Structures are given as structure tokens and as C-alpha cells.
Amino acid sequence: MKPPFPLAALTLTLAACGQPGQKAETSKVATVAVTDAWCRPTPNGAQAGACYATFLASTDDRLTGGSSPAADQVQTHEMSMADGVMHMGELKDGLPLPAGKAVTLAPGGAHLMLTGLAQPLVAGQTTPLTLRFASAPSVTVQAQIRMPSTGGAGMAHGGH
Ligand SMILES: [Cu+2]
């Protein structure tokens, strides 16, 4: 039985689509820009805190975790709803960062979880945060410790 469409012709058609110079992924260096890093203040005695940031990857990448001198561990967590209860857990494979698309972590969604805090996160201060990626080199930022922007969940703060 012969296939209705010769395979060789299909291959040629596909090859013709691949213009030289369109292999962007081979020439791009994997980097991730990290902006607007901030952490929620923790009350005295709290051992864990959550931090957020905006990530822009040059190539498809994943946020796999991080480290901070302020905490024993920095993990990438996600929130999920199950049976009407919010759960949070580590993203074992990291958080996907599609090339050229800004990914913003925000309260209620994925976040960086700092556990084993040496001292509370105090509003007005900053804390160093080193972020690890699957492909791009690690990035260290100074995260601002502040309260979440008011205005309701999902509302854009805007006004830059
Ligand atoms: Cu968490």
C-alpha cells in the first residue's frame, strides 16, 4: 500500500520553509533579566517569607530556585486550588519562562519561598536574592521588602 502523498516531497516542502538565518535559538545567548524583585515583610518570629519578581528570558528557560544569605532555602512555589483550599508546593521542574515573554510573580500565584529565615524581613530594607535558571546564568538582585501594592488582586499598578 502506497502512502497517498510521497514522503520525500513532504520532507522537501518542510526543508524549504527553513530559511537560512532563522535559527535564532542557536545564536542567542541564554540570559534572564530580573526586575521589580520584592518580598513581603514577615512578622517577628516567622520562619518563612515570600518574594516576587518579573522575569524576561532571552531563550526558553525555567526558574528552578535560588538562594539568599537571609534564608536556608529559596524554592520556587506555586499555589493551586484543590477542594476549595489553597495549597502551595514546590515546582519540581521549575517555573517555565518562555523566550521574550515577561513572567511576573505576584501574591496568589507562583512565588519564591524563603524558608529558615535568619531574621524577619523588615519593610523598607532589602535582601539579596540569587535566582537560578535551567539555562541562563544565575542572577543576583536586591529585593525590596515592602507590602503588596494595594488596589485589589489582579489590578495593574501601572503609572510608570
Ligand atoms: Cu510558598
Fold of 29-145: Immunoglobulin-like (2.60.40)
100 pLDDT more than 90: yes
Dihedral angle at the C-alpha atoms of 19, 22, 26, 31, nearest 10 degrees? -170
DSSP-derived secondary structure for 123-143: TT-EEEEEEEESSSPPEEEEE
pLDDT digits (tens, 9 = 90+) for 3-30: 565 555 555 555 555 555 555 555 689 9
Q: Are 112 and 75 in contact (CB under 8 A)?
A: yes
pTM, two decimals, is: 0.75
CA 126–ligand 1 middle distance (angstroms): 19
Residue reference for cell 521589580: 36
The residues spanned by each domain of the chain are: 29-145
CA 8–ligand 1 middle distance (angstroms): 52
Task: Quickly state the pLDDT bin for 151 (edges 50, 70, 90).
Answer: very low
Q: Tell me what pLDDT residue 5 has.
A: 55
Q: Which residues contact 12 (CB under 8 A, 6 or more apart)?
A: none
Average pLDDT, the chain: 84
CA 43–ligand 1 middle distance (angstroms): 16
Angstrom distance (rounded) from CA 31 to CA 12 = 34
Q: What is the average pLDDT across 43-67?
A: 95
Angstrom distance (rounded) from CA 105 to CA 112 = 8
